Amino acid sequence: MPERSDRTPSSQSTPTRSFGLRSLAALPFGFLLFGLWLVLSPKRDLFHLGLGALTACAIALLSGRLVGQSPPIAEPNGRSLLRMPWHRFVGYLPWLAWQVMIASVQVAYVVLHPRLPVDPRLLRVRVRYPHTLARLTLANSITLTPGTVTLDVDGDEYLVHSLTEASGKALEQGTMPDRVSTLFGVKAEGIGS
Amino acid sequence: MNVLAGVMIVLGFGFILAGVIGILRLPDFYCRLHAMGKCDTLGVALLIGGLAMSEGFSLASAKMLLVVAFVTLSNPTATHALGRAALRAGLVPWTRTGGEKGS
């Protein structure tokens, strides 16, 4: 039984050819999924490894369209998710992690303060990006940083809820749009509130 | 190594506790989102990261690090989704000048 089941993944290569270029883009995704399987599944016998390989191949092929093609959020530049400037995230992530630390300490301070110094505001921030993925990243980064949560994005306008007045000001004068700009290599136009 | 793991676990508990106190003390839904989205993300990351560190390099610690990665991805997303849903439902944010005390 195990001898046979480990051949099932190789029989998967027949539909692979008919999928053509698209399945090539799915290949690294399939390896990633199989790596995840190896971490999550403690059993190392042929049956379970074969099952993992089969599942990884199937998911990679079925969702290959999503990974390999340019998703609608990457327009108008039309870059696919695989060709995003991932290497720039290496510089962005530590900064973001540090901001998350500051954010948590600040919220903890406000919450534990005896007089509860909150002064919540709704702010509208305008940042114009030609790139939808950059807008998404900015909105998510605002949510993670001190005292602000993005509630809605409508075109170039971000509706942000800030916990204190200071955190709202920090966002308006902050460097976050610039950092997202360098991350994606695009230019933000008309920053203001 | 064990000392660092212990510090991380205690700090993680501290942040989760701060998040819970925040949910109890803050005036309205939107403010509570801040407590839930930020303190809990860092708290869970520190707590499970500390546990992974005390476990050492093993399959179990790799799984714990995966849990940390997924929580840090999904928690801010859920925070945003909740806030947006509340806004669309027409929940008016509490302000200090608004006078009325939200629930």
Give the residue, A80 or B86, on which the prediction is more confident: B86
Closest residue, chain B, to A42 (C-alpha): B59
- What is the spatial order of strands in the sheet that A157-162 belongs to? A148-154, A157-162, A121-128, A189-192
Query: What is the mean pLDDT, run by run of 10 residues, along chain B of 103 residues?
Result: 90 91 86 83 90 86 89 84 87 72 43
> Do residues A120 and A181 both lie within one domain?
yes
pLDDT tens sequence across A6-19: 333 443 333 444 44
Question: Would you state the pLDDT for residue A69?
Answer: 57
Mean pLDDT of A135-140: 79
Question: Would you state the pLDDT for residue A79?
Answer: 56
> Do residues A99 and A184 both lie within one domain?
yes
User: Token pair 């997924």 is at which residue?
Assistant: B70
Question: Would you state the pLDDT for residue A73?
Answer: 54
Q: Is residue B18 part of a domain?
A: no
d(CA A144, CA B71): 13
* Record: contact B33-A112, CB cut-off 8 A: no
d(CA B32, CA B26): 6
Interface of A with B in 37-56 (CB under 8 A): 39-40, 42
* Record: contact A143-B37, CB cut-off 8 A: yes
Last residue of a domain, one of A49, A69, A89: A69
Q: Is residue B53 part of a domain?
A: yes
Mean pLDDT of A116-120: 81
Q: Is residue A45 part of a domain?
A: yes
Output the domain CATH number for residue A105.
Answer: 3.30.70
d(CA B6, CA B33): 28
Domain extent, residue A37, equals: 2-69
- Coil vs helix vs strand at A123: strand
pLDDT tens sequence across A142-188: 877 777 888 888 877 888 888 887 777 777 777 777 777 777 766 66
Question: Would you state the pLDDT for residue B9?
Answer: 93
Q: Is residue A58 part of a domain?
A: yes
d(CA B60, CA B43): 20
Mean pLDDT of A87-114: 82
3-class DSSP string for A127-183: EECCCHHHHHHHHHHHHHCCCEEEEEEECCEEEEEECCHHHHHHHHHCCHHHHHHHH
Q: Is residue B7 part of a domain?
A: no
> Do residues A34 and A96 both lie within one domain?
no
pLDDT tens sequence across B76-101: 788 888 888 988 888 888 877 765 44
Chain B positions touching chain A (beta carbons under 8 Å): 14-15, 18-19, 21-22, 25-28, 30-31, 33-35, 37-39, 41-43, 59, 62-63, 66, 76-77, 79-80, 83-84, 87, 93-96
* A48 class by beta-carbon count within 10 Å (0-12 exposed, 13-18 middle, 19+ buried): middle
pLDDT tens sequence across A23-79: 566 677 788 888 888 888 878 888 988 988 898 888 888 876 666 555 555 555 555
For residue A40, which residues of chain B lie inside 8 Å, CB to CB?
Answer: 63, 66
Q: Which candidate from B22, B79, B96 shows the least CB-CB separation from A149?
A: B79
| Structural domain count of chain A | 2
In this prediction, residue A1 has a pLDDT band, given cuts at 50, 70 and 90, of very low
Q: Is residue B81 part of a domain?
A: yes
- Nearest CA distance, B20 vs chain A (angstrom): 9
Beta-ladder partners of A125: A158
Closest residue, chain B, to A150 (C-alpha): B80
Interface predicted TM-score (ipTM): 0.78
Count of C-beta atoms within a 10 Å radius of residue B96: 12
Looking at this protein, which amino acid is placed at residue A8? T
> Do residues A89 and A184 both lie within one domain?
yes
Closest residue, chain A, to B96 (C-alpha): A119
> Do residues A50 and A88 both lie within one domain?
no
> Do residues A25 and A89 both lie within one domain?
no
> Do residues A15 and A41 both lie within one domain?
yes
> Do residues A56 and A127 both lie within one domain?
no
| Structural domain count of chain B | 1
* Record: contact A151-B87, CB cut-off 8 A: yes
Question: Would you state the pLDDT for residue A151?
Answer: 84
Q: Is residue B1 part of a domain?
A: no
- Nearest CA distance, B62 vs chain A (angstrom): 7
> Do residues A19 and A87 both lie within one domain?
no
User: Does the pLDDT value for residue A127 go beyond 70?
Assistant: yes
| Predicted structure pTM score | 0.71
C-alpha dihedral (B97, B100, B102, B103), degrees to nearest 10: 160
Q: Is residue B59 part of a domain?
A: yes
3-state helix, strand, coil in chain B (%, to 5): 80, 0, 20
